[in-house]
Amino acid sequence: MISPPRAPSLSIENVDIAHNLRVVRRAINDAAVHAGRNPLDVRLIAVSKTVPRGTVEAAFRAGQTDFGENTVQEALSKFPSLHDLGLTGHFIGYLQTNKAKFIPGHFSWVHSIDRLPLAQKLSRACEGTDARLDTLVQVNVTRDPNKRGVAPESTFELIEQLMAANLTHISLRGLMTLGPYHGDERILHDCFARLRALREECAQRFALPQFTELSMGMTDDFPIAIAEGATMVRIGTAIFGERAYKTLRD
């Protein structure tokens, strides 16, 4: 197997958002072409957690429209004033059930559905509005005890539950996963290929023509994820710089 192009190496001392976006988009394009795919079939989600509103606005001015957040409290401090700009919000973190009411109107996508009660709360939160949420089931492909997500063998059961619940404001669109933090290329390929195979089986088993999305791949491994069929890549550090995420480790 010929390895896909590597993720770009970027300077983080003086972050130029527009430049970084150009580099990342070029890398996405190269990875897609290398895999024999249409680059337009891969959506870039700029992960803006810990990134201030002004920096998000700079990314928007540079043409970025999809942004991912992983906490409701932080997202609400930024997205209300940015919503009118036309950005698309993706909630990509663990979502507490009692925070589901804040999602409609601020986010269009939820990548982290891992239990029926959460989906039910989200659907009820949309009632009385014109909101409709596109959702992804989060799968813990690596069975890492430190990661969220349903076990691969439990994915079919969860989808059956979601479909039986008749959640009229929720659209099931695909699967999401987090790759191993310290995996080599072979391990990463295997992880992402397993999610792709699972998505294909789900779409066929449940006759879901819109179940087409694969959210997988981040700054260090997105070329491999694209090689294995990712339709969404969630990239933060390569766009906003290492310092934007320093508080998560301090």
Among 173, 238, 244, 242, smallest CA distance to 31 is for 238
Q: In this structure, is residue 161 part of a structural domain?
A: yes
Q: What pLDDT, on the 0 to 100 scale, is given for residue 4? A: 55
Q: What CATH number is attached to the domain comprising 72?
A: 3.20.20.10
Residue 47 domain flag: yes
Distance of CA 128 to the CA centre of its chain: 27
Number of domains in the chain: 1
Q: Are 176 and 215 in contact (CB under 8 A)?
A: yes
pLDDT exceeds 70 at position 150: yes
- Confirm whether 12 is domain-assigned: no
Instruction: Look at residue 10 and tell me if it is in a domain.
Output: no
What is the pLDDT averaged over residues 25-51?
A: 97
- C-alpha torsion 22→27→32→33, nearest 10: 90
Domain that holds residue 149: 17-245
- Residue 208 in any domain: the answer is yes
Which residues neighbour 14 within 8 Å (Cβ) at sequence distance 6 or greater?
none
Q: Does 52 fall in a domain?
A: yes
Output the pTM of the full model. 0.90
Paired tokens of 198:
């699972």
Q: What is the pLDDT of residue 181?
A: 81
106 vs 23, which has greater pLDDT? 23
Q: Taking 70 as the threshold, does the pLDDT of residue 243 lie above it?
A: no
CA atoms of 119 and 6, how far apart (whole Å): 36
Distance CA 17, CA 14 (A): 9
Taking only the tens place, the pLDDT of each residue in 83-124 is 667 889 999 999 999 999 999 988 999 999 999 999 999 999
Rg (CA), the chain: 17
Strands 66-69 and 88-91: parallel
Whole-number Å distance between alpha carbons of 44 and 24: 9
| In-domain check, residue 7 | no
Whether 3 maps to a domain, the answer reads no
User: What is residue 69's predicted lDDT score, i.e. its pLDDT?
Assistant: 95
